[in-house]
Structure 1
């Protein structure tokens, strides 16, 4: 039986000092995040924040028609629920698990108490929020100006950056919902990547085989997000700074 993930598998939690960890870790609750689980709906008042360890959560904007598009992805690089410490308490987006795994849940008030100490957590959360805003802005630009092929490459890179390995479980229908495009377009784009030997796709299981080639095929949007994240949070992405 595989070992359960430790809190330090989330890079934000790992970046905290021992003193801050000692204050927060006793209050963390390990929760399972199955594929498709909705952590919150648009307009919900948030009570908890989630620190993913080996899961990915998509933040989606859902239209009145039911159509949706992803505005950002969060994995072991960050947390779900920035509205809690930014003061808004709710958000117009929906949080959905796009790759199953685990996360550590913390009562929002506990995070706010630590945030209001005006110490390292405050700096860390503000820097993370700036990185997340960059990802959201670049996603909007990418969806408007780049092909489905390029969008899929960007999305795959952002996803595996936020997982402990190069594999994720995700159906083409879910990917289409994330990107806000037709499923047929995703099927065609994924087929091209598979023929090139960049990915292996089998029954909803995607393995990235050639990351350098995937980066070449992606638009500049991925590099912009990664560069800004590395600049803001160099101690949060140790695995990626190579």
Structure 2
């Protein structure tokens, strides 16, 4: 049952899960660990139970920006496993947590023998691509405050209201200067939306934080529901008990 804490594995049929189970092992993802380098072959597939993986685009001048988050709603490495491709971007553990992990070659063998599992993995990749596209648009047109609030809401969806993240890392993930994030975080704390101390952010008023965010957090939730099932449109989709 431990593997089913990941929302993709929980959707696999009992037969597919039994075929996958002998190859799955549970590990602790340590914050800061790089699970894939840009343009490097992917040898393992990650199904997070908690924690967050960040897909990061690195530029020659040293800037880096997050293009998408992967939490217990998804998987990293499945698409690459299916056709032996390299990772397009660097993938790093943003928030520590447990994950089910298996060798890419084993996932490929099971998926190619199961149309249902293959379709499930493709659905998630379609959602992730849509998330990346939404993030691109968001970074281009929305303010730092809107993006910060959206980023915090998305993290809450995946791991809850207590977040271990520094302002420096948050600024890097959004591709902005730390001073910009510090100013926004200070204002949010002054207004009682969050509290912040020594790399720990507590979300105090999720409803107001969502109203201050751009529409992108809601769009990402709706995109997930659209790819999977309509019942998640009202309980969108991750941790409604703590984040809604």
Distance 1:86 1:185, change over 3 A: farther
Contact kept in structure 2, 1:32 and 1:101, CA below 8 Å: yes
- 1:140 maps to 2:128: no
Q: Which of the residues 174, 177, 197 maps onto 1:182?
A: 177
- 1:93 maps to 2:89: yes
**Structure 1 unmatched ranges of 5 or more:** none
Contact kept in structure 2, 1:85 and 1:111, CA below 8 Å: yes
How big is each residue's C-alpha offset from its partner over 1:77-117, in whole Å with a ceiling of 9 and x where there is no partner?
Answer: 00111442452520230001111112111110111112212
1:1-12 pair list within 5 angstroms = 6-12=2-8
Cα RMSD of the aligned pairs, angstroms, is 1.9
1:219 maps to which residue?
214
Q: Which of the residues 157, 167, 191 maps onto 2:186?
A: 191
| 6-15 or 53-62: bigger deviation | 6-15
Q: TM-score, normalised by structure 2?
A: 0.91
Structure 1: 4+ residue segments shifted above 6 A: none
**1: distance between equivalents of 2:43 and 2:240?**
32
SS of equivalent to 1:178: helix
Say which structure is richer in helix. Answer: 2
1:52-67 pair list within 5 angstroms = 52-67=48-63
Q: Which of the residues 96, 106, 111 maps onto 1:110?
A: 106
How much does 1:203 deviate?
Answer: 1.1
How big is each residue's C-alpha offset from its partner over 1:185-207, in whole Å with a ceiling of 9 and x where there is no partner?
Answer: 11111112212211121111112
SS of equivalent to 1:162: helix
Paired residues, number: 237
1:156-171 pair list within 5 angstroms = 156-163=152-159, 165-171=160-166
Contact kept in structure 1, 2:158 and 2:238, CA below 8 Å: no
**1: distance between equivalents of 2:116 and 2:238?**
18
